[in-house]
Structure 1
Amino acid sequence: MSSPLRPSNSAANRGLGSLNRRKRDREPEDETSSIAPPSSPPPSSPPMLPFDDEDDDRDEEAELLADIDDLEEMAEDGEGIDLFGDNFERDYHSRKNDRYRGNDIDDEEQEELDIATRRQLDSRMNRRDRELARRRRMPAAFLQDEDDDNIDLARQPRRRRHHYDEDREDMDMGEDGTEELSLEEMMDIKAANVTDWVLQPQVLRSIYREFKTFLTEYTDDSGASVYGNKIKTLGEVNSASLEVSWVHLSNTKAVLAYFVANEPTEVLKVFDQVALDVTLFHYPQYHDIHNEIHVRIIDLPTVSTLRQLRQSHLNSLVRVTGVVTRRSGVFPQLKYIMFVCGKCNITLGPFQQEASQEVKISYCQNCQSRGPFTVNSEKTIYRNYQKLTLQESPGSVPAGRLPRQREVILLADLIDSAKPGDEVEVTGIYRNSYDAQLNNKNGFPVFATIIEANHIIKSHDQMAGFHLTEEDEREIRALSRDPDIVDKIIRSIAPSIYGHHDVKTAIALSLFGGVSKEAQGKMSIRGDINVLLLGDPGTAKSQVLKYVEKTAHRAVFATGQGASAVGLTASVRRDPLTSEWTLEGGALVLADRGTCLIDEFDKMNDQDRTSIHEAMEQQTISISKAGIVTTLQARCAVVAAANPIGGRYNSTAPFSANVELTEPILSRFDILCVVRDLVDPTEDERLANFVVESHHRANPARPIRNVKGELVDNDNNPIDEEGYRIDKRGNRLPLTQEETASREAAQRKMEEEKEGEIPQELLRKYILYARERCHPKLYQIDQDKVARLFADMRRESLATGAYPITVRHLEAIMRIAESFCKMRLSEYCSSQDIDRAIAVTVESFIGSQKVSCKKALSRAFAKYTLSRPKPQSRRRAGVPAPNPYLPRAVPRA
């Protein structure tokens, strides 16, 4: 019996035969001798030795070693397998099992998929591969037994496929041999903090790859590339900023969206590099225009106020709103510094200048000396630097609090993107900065805070900070089709104030405003409507101004007693950091594209009132102080309230004799409203009922419970939840005739109020929509009628001695007509709008006259006011509209 370690004779013979054959194969043969018979199987190829160079001149010692190895392999195989047995030809006969059935073969033709469907399927397969790879990277002890043998075999092809699929840009990020990570695997990386996590090489490479995939593959609902079009537009306009939506990033790459919000400093550097590489792929010569492309993050979901910023927001991305009050000049800031050694004259650097600390070098790498070192100004790279002072918006400051401020740093192409008076929305990095003055003042280390802007946009570009949904717009358009919409809007102005129909009409006209124009020669004609309220004390003038402050999309409130000329216009102050003179806008500048409210207008000094002449007509403020000569925008409507001389209005004297205002300032107000407090028992009773009901609605009645906890009325009778009296069995008792009438009257009054007024939130949206979307044009107006009215008003003004009528009042008629047209959301002013504007102008003119002239003027101007449209509700009810031009008592509030 042969040993398993020694081959048998037959095996040895076969081994020698195969060895001889291999020797013959190594010898050079003719082409004819190398051709095998057709029926013979193909000969097996000889085993290749490591580092075999296949030279014909191989020495005998190498051949002997190869033969010995072959014999050892034969001995280990034991008996082996005889490939050339007696019946070896049976292996080549056909079998029925060699034919496959067609049941499992899908030979149907498939429809061609569109690009969006393909990308969705590719994304699903990628997620499946990533999940499979994540499971295979788990420790072997946690895997099933049948997977143990396939762990190493599955990982190596995966790594090799990643290696061949890498782009050249990815290889340039670092060649440290680290393995690339998917988004899910990035979450498994451990670090002490977010900064250390981001700075790891494999994480940086993965962020680079994933963000590049996002820019190149993100599509909208139609399958079009979103950021491909943005990059194309960027190249067309030679811009250096690429806006990326945080919402888009969070929907597809949530990990990137999370870390760009929590560690924006390092992540944005990678984003900028990706944006530059992708731009250079489309525009290879773009680096000749811009060396950097900055990614601007927009649509950050959380909007904070300056008052809400805390320590937890440091070094993270924040989104705040405010008004720019001060802007510095543009300075060069060091970005990459080059030093020159004073001893060996060698240039050192570049060294990147960080925002937190100054770059200092201790020794020269060439001569090992310690300096001195000077900055090489020619080779040092600078960037633009500008500082803004952002203040809380006037409408967002809590009552009784001072507005907060923050310094905003603008870099690169964000320079001069906002000016004093602009309401802006800033997205940036909330940082801390060392301030020596602050430390000396407090006596212990305290850091100042700044916002390094990443993206800045003016609020009026986004509908003044209000976002109207499609449902809001549909509701607004449906409301504009109401034929009585103008009167509904007027009734909805200050609903908590009784009466004052003429005042509410003027306020509504000012809130909607007209259309600004530029005449020939580039002369600007204002479109805002200025209103002056003059009347007795206690007639709700200040309450009307407070209502406008809450309703207008942008309003600034000031008082004449506490306001100065520079407080209303603009001031010049020295910047504590740069020691340069900077401009700081006043109330009129801060109210740009809004409304400026001035209470106690008569208490202002004459010099202070003179300073706002330019702002009220030209809507600009010219500054020429401390070497600064410039012009600021003050495109706002002015609504002022004043008290007459002596405290009460004297109806026997003209308007100019009742107020200490000069004619130039009076002519700049489009509408003058005189509010009188006259004694009228009927109106006083109505006023008292209105005030009492207002207090009653503000404090709704609560159900009364007795000692047993049962609901009872004022007479201690048991009632149910709806206020009905019940008997001992719990059944409702029928209401008396007085109770029925009282309930019906209350229900009817509630329905009338609900039908006649617009909800305040909807009214604010309606005003905003009209101001932003509606720009009516004057079309087919009765020019002769307007001209005759202007001539008659000038003649009567000269005869009665009232305030003078100028061309500004003629322009006011056009602005008022455009405002009425905006209330209807119409594109063209109709004859009804002109008639309404004429009626308001005539009412304002007659109301400011002496009591002895009012009746005569009412009859003289009746021909211009008879065509004034009446409210639809009054025409339907058959109630005649009161004549607003006759003397009547104006109730108090």
Structure 2
Amino acid sequence: MSAANRGAAARNGRKRSREPDDEIPSSSAAPPSSPPPSSPPMMPLNDEDDEELDPDRDLIGDIDDADEMAEDEDGIDLFADNFERDYKARENDAYAGADIDDEGDYEDLDVGTRRQLEARLNKRDRELSRRRRMPAAFLQDEDEDGEMDLTRQPRRRRHHYDEEQEDEEMGEDIMDEELSLETLQDVKASSLTDWVALPAVYRSIFREFKSFLTEYTDDNGTSVYGTRVRTLGEVNAESLEVSYDHLSASKAILAYFLANAPAEVLKIFDQVAMDVTLLHYPDYERIHSEIHVRISDLPVHYTLRQLRQTHLNCLVRVTGVVTRRTGVFPQLKYVRFDCTKCGITLGPFQQESNVEVRISYCQNCQSRGPFTLNSEKTIYRNYQKLTLQESPGTVPAGRLPRHREVILLWDLIDSAKPGEEIEVTGIYRNNYDAQLNNRNGFPVFATILEANHVVQSHDQLAGFRLTEEDEREIRTLSRDPQIVDKIIASIAPSIYGHTDIKTAVALSLFGGVSKEAQGKHKIRGDINILLLGDPGTAKSQVLKYIEKTAHRAVFATGQGASAVGLTASVRRDPLTQEWTLEGGALVLADRGTCLIDEFDKMNDQDRTSIHEAMEQQTISISKAGIVTTLQARCAIVAAANPIGGRYNSTIPFAQNVELTEPILSRFDILVVVRDTVDPAEDERLASFVVNSHGRAHPSASSIDANQNAMESEHDTEMRDQQINGGEPKQEGEIPQELLRKYILYAREKCRPKLYQIDQDKVARLFADMRRESLATGAYPITVRHLEAIMRISEAFCKMRLSEYCTSQDVDRAIAVTVDSFVGGQKVSCKKALARAFAKYTLAKPGSQRSQHGRNGVRTGAPATAVMA
């Protein structure tokens, strides 16, 4: 018992002695209050303790305690008579020599062995501390050296709070350790973001990704990312591209963390990339303060309309067309503020992308401001915003294209221009928008896409995922000697007749090869077509077919399209209040096809705006202080109606349409379609249309399958007779899906070259056409028509998937050009011109002049067409 307790017991004994007849308190009395948690628990009193309660001894003990307290208050006299004894050497002050081996020769431990031993010792200490906290009944039997004294258990409980503090420190020591790759998979947090933020998990991810960058090799045993890091340093780049496929194959758990918690994991990846770069280039921090990891080859691909709330804060990959781009602005990264009252600098505070940093009081003077931004010590980064819209070919029928805002940071600035189709891999985030909340009346978050990797979608075959079987089938089909006839017959199979239009459409879909003369002057490779004819001749239906078949096609009408709607417009950005560019139909159709219906309904000013886009394939803008050039590398297929509604063959082509000569000279092929009366042809046309409507009826499945097959075969024979000059074709048409893949494969893989062509023949043809054009008063023949012959030859060569244009391709191109020129003449001189140019068109391979539909176009011949 302590002196204070003995003193208290003695004072109680002096005030009132305990009598034998005192009553024992009843059980109904209130129990004594338990001691506070911070006080040690009281030991129960037994009989031996009662015997020790001697009043005399307690009184003497109290006097001694009072003397000690008085001595503490007065202090200790350091110069007392016996102060020398405090400085005498004692025998017990030396260290004991037991268990110390000073004579043995031991080597120093290396770092790895020492860490292993320390880990084992820490594990043993944690086990002992855990067992000591367990109740005695649950303790396991110990060895002789490890026996525990159970009487010390209550005393240990008095240090309960000290042990809790030790446990917290021990927990921190545990979290300081790195986890194995298997332990990382066992997420022990409320969310994956919290789990990644733990120090041990952070260090483990750092270690594993560093080993991935330094150890991952290809099939040849070459380090993949070691080479990329060295290349990065050679060009002073700021981004390191990492393939998601490589990461998932080597470190699957890191790929899982990256896809579901990209914001936190990418920060770790950036630090690892900087460390690995410093191994090769120790002074690289002088060039770039950070290295950013760009994730490519993300396997899951979404469209903009498929993004939902489940994708928030996850890594997504989308594709779209850039319609708007802002300027480059400095964005705060680490902010510092100056207190105007005390002058101290506060910060740095990290600026997130969607949260503005604001401080409420000064930590030094406790004032509430005002605070000014310290621009000298604040760190900025580049910021730009894009508007990404769904690609024209991916928008469902009858739906409006959707768009999303894309944030570009660091070196991704200016990585895309309006009109380009890009593929963005980034973090799908939510952003607070006050205007959106005021408009809806309830809390709604806007969504943005913070880009991590941006690449232009030059590979048009990416959307189709061509397999080896598809490529084998395409190659087999290209070896067919009648492949050109098959492709023309497969264009718009639901339209009867119209061999001339179908040939021109096929040439435009395949296109030529763009060139650069001496590296300066660019020559376009796309083929522009103008369809002019009577009403009801399926001109608009042909445009709709091209819209569905071409990979990128933008449809516009002349009545509803303006100059800015076709080229580009300038708008004020609602976020930055800056003027920004927004691409029109020609810009959105870059590397595709732009379809313009009712071309004659456009006013002259709007038509003049597309002169540059049709020939140079660029659009120059000089508005609102913005001077730039946009790309419009697309083929234009336009449809127009003649003056008065019907084509008048007694006057030249230029007088039948309200188009100027500069516009007409930019079209490579002019197709004239007339609706003539022919009883035999009209009967076949009516039979074809009726059978087509019967097959397309919703209840057509109940009709006998044999009857359908017979009708389909009959319609095919009629269509073949129309195309092949009365000769039925040997094989059927190419399926539309395969035809679309065939066209895209040819556009992407085939770039034919002119080889062994008759240059003298082409030169004589050009001279003759210019002479006859001047004599007949038709539209003028320019050098553009000579270039059109070369483009058409390359398009015929692409149909065969050949690498070189032969004389056969040139003969076909000459036939198309001559038929286009003769078909636009008035009827009085058409026959004379046909005879004059017969020497150029009779050389078509395997064809006579009476069979124009086989390889050439009989433009201007009477034709009737109806969309079934």
Q: Normalising by the residue count of structure 2, what TM-score does the alignment of the two structures yield?
A: 0.76
Q: Is the 8 A contact 1:674 1:848 kept in 2?
A: yes
Q: Which residue of 2 aligns with 1:216?
A: 214
SS at match of 2:458: helix
1:856 to 828, 832, 836: 832
Q: Which residue of 1 aligns with 2:665?
A: 667
Q: Which moved more, 1:368-377 or 1:451-460?
A: 368-377
1:476 to 474, 477, 484: 474
Q: Distance in 1 between matches of 2:639 and 2:779?
A: 17
Encode CA deviations 1:100-130: one digit per residue, 9 max, x unaligned.
xxxxxxxxxxxxxxxxxxxxxxxxxxxxxxx
Q: Which moved more, 1:57-66 or 1:454-463?
A: 57-66
Q: Distance in 2 between matches of 1:739 and 1:323?
A: 43
SS at match of 1:439: helix
Q: Distance in 2 between matches of 1:62 and 1:375?
A: 63
Encode CA deviations 1:517-573: one digit per residue, 9 max, x unaligned.
222471222111100001111111111111111111111110001100100011111
After TM superposition, give the deviation of residue 463 of structure 1 in Å: 4.5
Q: Distance in 2 between matches of 1:333 and 1:742?
A: 68
Q: Is the 8 A contact 2:338 2:374 kept in 1?
A: yes
Q: Which amino acid aligns with 1:884?
A: R
SS at match of 1:388: strand
Q: Is the 8 A contact 1:484 1:871 kept in 2?
A: no
Q: Is the 8 A contact 2:334 2:350 kept in 1?
A: yes
With over 3 angstroms needed to count, the CA separation of the structure-2 counterparts of 1:437 and 1:887, relative to structure 1, is: closer
- Structure 1 residues 654-803: aligned runs within 5 Å: 654-699=652-697, 755-803=731-779
Give every structure 1 segment of 4 or more consecutive aligned residues whose post-TM-superposition deviation is greater than 6 Å.
57-67, 700-704, 738-754, 879-883
Q: Which residue of 1 aligns with 2:82?
A: none
Q: Which amino acid aligns with 1:431?
A: R
Q: Is the 8 A contact 2:459 2:748 kept in 1?
A: no
Q: Which amino acid aligns with 1:179?
A: E
Q: Distance in 1 between matches of 2:526 and 2:319?
A: 25
SS at match of 2:375: coil
After TM superposition, give the deviation of residue 312 of structure 1 in Å: 1.5
After TM superposition, give the deviation of residue 474 of structure 1 in Å: 2.9
Q: Distance in 2 between matches of 1:199 and 1:835?
A: 70
Q: Is the 8 A contact 1:464 1:553 kept in 2?
A: no
Unaligned runs of 5+ in 1: 1-56, 68-132, 141-146, 150-173, 705-712, 715-721, 724-737
Q: Distance in 2 between matches of 1:881 and 1:773?
A: 23
Q: Distance in 1 between matches of 2:98 and 2:834?
A: 129
Q: Distance in 1 between matches of 2:97 and 2:803?
A: 101
After TM superposition, give the deviation of residue 148 of structure 1 in Å: 13
SS at match of 1:205: helix
After TM superposition, give the deviation of residue 407 of structure 1 in Å: 0.7
Q: Which residue of 1 aligns with 2:13?
A: none
After TM superposition, give the deviation of residue 740 of structure 1 in Å: 13
Q: Is the 8 A contact 1:208 1:270 kept in 2?
A: yes
Q: Which residue of 2 aligns with 1:509?
A: 507
Q: Distance in 1 between matches of 2:141 and 2:513?
A: 78
Q: Which residue of 2 aligns with 1:544?
A: 542
Q: Which residue of 2 aligns with 1:592?
A: 590
Q: Is the 8 A contact 2:538 2:865 kept in 1?
A: no
Q: CA RMSD in A?
A: 3.5
Q: Which residue of 1 aligns with 2:393?
A: 395
Q: Distance in 2 between matches of 1:880 and 1:592?
A: 32
Q: Which moved more, 1:205-214 or 1:828-837?
A: 205-214
Q: Which residue of 2 aligns with 1:405?
A: 403
Q: Which residue of 2 aligns with 1:375?
A: 373
Q: Which moved more, 1:507-516 or 1:473-482?
A: 473-482
1:837 to 813, 818, 830: 813
SS at match of 2:447: strand
- Structure 1 residues 98-137: aligned runs within 5 Å: none
Encode CA deviations 1:704-744: one digit per residue, 9 max, x unaligned.
7xxxxxxxx99xxxxxxx87xxxxxxxxxxxxxx9999999
Unaligned runs of 5+ in 2: 1-88, 100-122, 132-139, 143-171, 721-727
Q: Which moved more, 1:277-286 or 1:661-670?
A: 277-286
After TM superposition, give the deviation of residue 890 of structure 1 in Å: 3.5
With over 3 angstroms needed to count, the CA separation of the structure-2 counterparts of 1:556 and 1:229, relative to structure 1, is: same
After TM superposition, give the deviation of residue 299 of structure 1 in Å: 1.5
The yes-or-no answer on 1:890 pairing with 2:844 is: no
With over 3 angstroms needed to count, the CA separation of the structure-2 counterparts of 1:243 and 1:851, relative to structure 1, is: same
Q: Distance in 2 between matches of 1:744 and 1:235?
A: 66
Q: Which amino acid aligns with 2:824?
A: S
After TM superposition, give the deviation of residue 745 of structure 1 in Å: 7.5
SS at match of 2:649: coil
Q: Is the 8 A contact 2:500 2:857 kept in 1?
A: no
With over 3 angstroms needed to count, the CA separation of the structure-2 counterparts of 1:780 and 1:471, relative to structure 1, is: same
Q: Which residue of 2 aligns with 1:163?
A: none
Q: Which residue of 1 aligns with 2:608?
A: 610
Query: How high is the sequence identity, in percent, across the aligned residues?
Result: 77
Q: Which amino acid aligns with 2:864?
A: V
Q: Is the 8 A contact 1:459 1:465 kept in 2?
A: no
Q: Is the 8 A contact 2:688 2:715 kept in 1?
A: no
1:321 to 319, 322, 330: 319
After TM superposition, give the deviation of residue 60 of structure 1 in Å: 11
Encode CA deviations 1:806-865: one digit per residue, 9 max, x unaligned.
221111111111111222222222111111110000010111112222221111110000
2:294 to 293, 296, 299: 296
Q: Distance in 2 between matches of 1:860 and 1:444?
A: 77
SS at match of 2:639: strand
Q: Which residue of 2 aligns with 1:734?
A: none
Q: Which residue of 2 aligns with 1:846?
A: 822
Q: Which amino acid aligns with 1:773?
A: K
Q: Which amino acid aligns with 2:376?
A: E
SS at match of 1:755: coil
With over 3 angstroms needed to count, the CA separation of the structure-2 counterparts of 1:219 and 1:527, relative to structure 1, is: same
Matched residues, number:
708
Q: Which residue of 1 aligns with 2:570?
A: 572
With over 3 angstroms needed to count, the CA separation of the structure-2 counterparts of 1:251 and 1:785, relative to structure 1, is: same
Encode CA deviations 1:485-529: one digit per residue, 9 max, x unaligned.
222221121112111111111111111111222224712221111
1:866 to 842, 852, 862: 842
With over 3 angstroms needed to count, the CA separation of the structure-2 counterparts of 1:744 and 1:355, relative to structure 1, is: closer
Q: Which residue of 2 aligns with 1:642?
A: 640
With over 3 angstroms needed to count, the CA separation of the structure-2 counterparts of 1:362 and 1:822, relative to structure 1, is: same
Q: Is the 8 A contact 1:491 1:756 kept in 2?
A: no
Q: Which residue of 2 aligns with 1:272?
A: 270
With over 3 angstroms needed to count, the CA separation of the structure-2 counterparts of 1:58 and 1:867, relative to structure 1, is: farther
With over 3 angstroms needed to count, the CA separation of the structure-2 counterparts of 1:379 and 1:478, relative to structure 1, is: same
SS at match of 2:313: coil
Q: Which moved more, 1:335-344 or 1:754-763?
A: 754-763
SS at match of 2:565: helix
Encode CA deviations 1:319-339: one digit per residue, 9 max, x unaligned.
111110110000000001122
Q: Which residue of 2 aligns with 1:338?
A: 336
Q: Distance in 1 between matches of 2:456 and 2:92?
A: 88
Q: Distance in 2 between matches of 1:239 and 1:390?
A: 26
SS at match of 2:273: helix
Q: Which amino acid aligns with 1:415?
A: I
Q: Distance in 1 between matches of 2:209 and 2:463?
A: 30
Q: Is the 8 A contact 2:321 2:422 kept in 1?
A: yes
After TM superposition, give the deviation of residue 749 of structure 1 in Å: 9.7
With over 3 angstroms needed to count, the CA separation of the structure-2 counterparts of 1:679 and 1:280, relative to structure 1, is: same
Q: Which amino acid aligns with 1:538?
A: G
Q: Which moved more, 1:470-479 or 1:280-289?
A: 470-479
Q: Which residue of 2 aligns with 1:255?
A: 253
SS at match of 1:448: strand
Q: Which amino acid aligns with 2:539?
A: K
